[in-house]
Amino acid sequence: MPSEVIELSGHIIDSWTLPRAWDIIMDRGGNFVVEEMRVGVSKTETSYARLKIEAPSDEILERILSELQQFGAVLVHGNDAQTVAVEQNGVLPPKFYSTTNLPTQVRLNGQWVEVEGIEMDVAVIIDQASARAYCRPMHEVQVGDQVVVGHDGIRVHPFERARDREAFAFMQSSVSSEKVKVLAIHEIARQMQDIRARNGKILFVLGPAVIHTGAGRYVADLIRRGYVQVIFGGNAIVTHDIESALFGTSLGVDLRSGEQVEGGHRNHLRAINAIRALGSLEKALETGLLREGITYEVMKRNIPMVLAGSIRDDGPMPSVINDMQEAQKKMRKEVQGVEMAIMVASMLHAIATGNLLPSTVRTVVVDINPAVVTKLADRGSFQAAGLVTDAELFLRELAEALS
């Protein structure tokens, strides 16, 4: 029977690492023997376990190891990480190691080296010369890149549940619409202040409902107060933001009276056309056409705003990136260093951003639809805390809490 010995250490019982590992082994049809186990006798001490894992076939053993690695399992008899060179641009070697969004190290010449720019579902490239390891998406790998394969020499730092739960309880799970959300909002505000106190980066991912609900003004306010360092969105948010700046409407609804003043789509097409006529958003600022709104505030301050197009876009508005790989590349660049991500009323761009964020980024997903909130976690961004609430009232309360 194929077998392998692994080690797990840390808060492996109270972080539920050990029981999860046992689950996986049994669910996938394997078996295990606890060769050694030391249990921390108080809540500050860590535990240690060494398990021998057996499986009916090499393939199943390989599956089990691949999953256990996500919980921090390390092969006891492991060697340095193994690599295979890329032979065709944009194509990985068959047994490529696919990353998680957890902090990950690879062993090079006996030393554990941090993988840089970690994100989920990409490959790890090793540069032996500089003894460094990088993440790289499949379509960007080049002939000759050394790609990590197999399971040797890979160590993932599992997600440990926060010790000090009182401080930010909801960050561990989600706040249903049936819990006290004002508390959670004020806690988010407090964390934002902490991050800004040390000059950290906060990312907002915004859907068009932010504008439709008249909540654009609260976001503009947060930008002016210095709480927004990056924005991700699409054609719709920028278009309706500019529609509201130029005509006072969003999808034809007057944001000051709530009345429908236009048949619907005409004003947003006019807004796009007006900017296209000038040639760029920059020109719209220079000429004084654009005098308020989210776009105005970020451009005045040179805050990066990445606008990724989608198949349903009208226009599009200048600055919207229509090539998906190019847009991802730009988002990848801008997520570097982000400490907190706040995603409001966005599904497509929130999931796309979730794919790019390391698990260490505090992520808050705000949507009135509980399905959106759980979808992000289902897609692997398990660190995302959800807040099932009204986007407009959330932003209003957040802006108030921060003023």
**Interacting positions 319-338 with a second copy (CB under 8 A):** 322-325, 327-328, 331
Contact status: 371 vs a second copy (CB under 8 A): yes
By CB under 8 A, what part of segment 101-130 binds a second copy?
A: 120-121
Give me 125's structure tokens: 């490239």
Q: Which amino acid is located at 178 in the chain?
A: E
Q: Nearest 5 degrees, angle CA 82-CA 84-CA 89?
A: 145
Of the candidates 388, 254, 233, 393, the residue with the CA atom closest to the CA atom of residue 317? 233
Q: By the 8 A CB rule, do 349 and 308 touch?
A: yes
- The nearer residue to a second copy, 18 or 81, going by C-beta atoms, is 18
Candidates 9-17, 102-110, 124-132, 295-303 — which segment interacts with a second copy by CB under 8 A?
Answer: 9-17
Write down the least CB distance from residue 79 to a second copy, Å.
22
Question: Do 220 and 294 form a contact (C-beta atoms < 8 A)?
Answer: yes
Q: Which is nearer to a second copy, 19 or 337 (CB)?
A: 19
Helix (H, G, I), strand (E, B) or coil at 5: strand
- Of 3, 27, 194, 336, the one binding a second copy by CB under 8 A: 27
Report the residue from 394, 398, 399, 402 that binds a second copy according to the rule CB under 8 A: 394
- The dihedral region occupied by 199, where left means phi > 0, alpha psi between -120 and 50, and beta the remainder, is left
Task: Rank residues 82 and 101 by Cβ distance to a second copy and give the closer one.
Answer: 101
SS (H, E, C) 253-273: EECCCCCECCCCCHHHHHHHH
In the complex, least distance from residue 242 CB atom to a second copy, rounded to whole angstroms: 15
Which residues from 37-76 bind a second copy, rule CB under 8 A? 37, 39-43, 63, 66-67, 70
Stretch that binds a second copy, among 87-95, 124-132, 286-294, 297-305 (CB under 8 A): 87-95
Nearer Cβ to a second copy (196/309): 309
Does residue number 179 form part of the binding site for a second copy (CB under 8 A)? yes
Strands 174-175 and 249-250: unpaired
Footprint on residues 264-293 left by a second copy (CB under 8 A): 264-266, 269-270, 272-273, 276-277
- Judged by CB under 8 A, the stretch of 34-42, 77-85, 124-132, 150-158 that binds a second copy is 34-42
- 58 or 166: CB nearest a second copy: 166
* Cβ 324 to a second copy shortest distance, Å: 4
Q: Is 358 in the site for a second copy (CB under 8 A)?
A: no
Q: Which of 4, 10, 32, 339 binds a second copy (CB under 8 A)?
A: 32
Give the residue with the Cβ less far from a second copy, 108 or 210: 210
Distance CA 269, CA 187 (A): 39
| DSSP H or E segment with residue 186 | helix 181-197
Contact predicate 316/178, CB 8 Å: no
Is 389 a binder of a second copy (CB under 8 A)? yes
Beta-strand pair 230-233/201-206: parallel
Residue 31 in the binding site for a second copy (CB under 8 A): yes
Among 6, 8, 25, 74, binds a second copy (CB under 8 A): 25
Which amino acid, residue 338? V
Residues near 352 by beta carbon (within 8 Å), at least 6 away in sequence? 232, 308, 328, 331
Burial class (CB in 10 A: 0-12, 13-18, 19+), 176: middle
Distances (CA, A) of 31 to 38, 61, 148: 20, 10, 27
Kindly identify the residues of this chain, within the stretch 199-238, that bind a second copy according to CB under 8 A. Answer: 209, 212-214, 234
Tell me the CB-side half-sphere exposure of residue 314, using CA atoms within 13 A.
Answer: 15
For a second copy, which residue of 153, 309, 358, 386 counts as binding (CB under 8 A)? 309
> Would you count residue 3 as binding a second copy (CB under 8 A)?
no
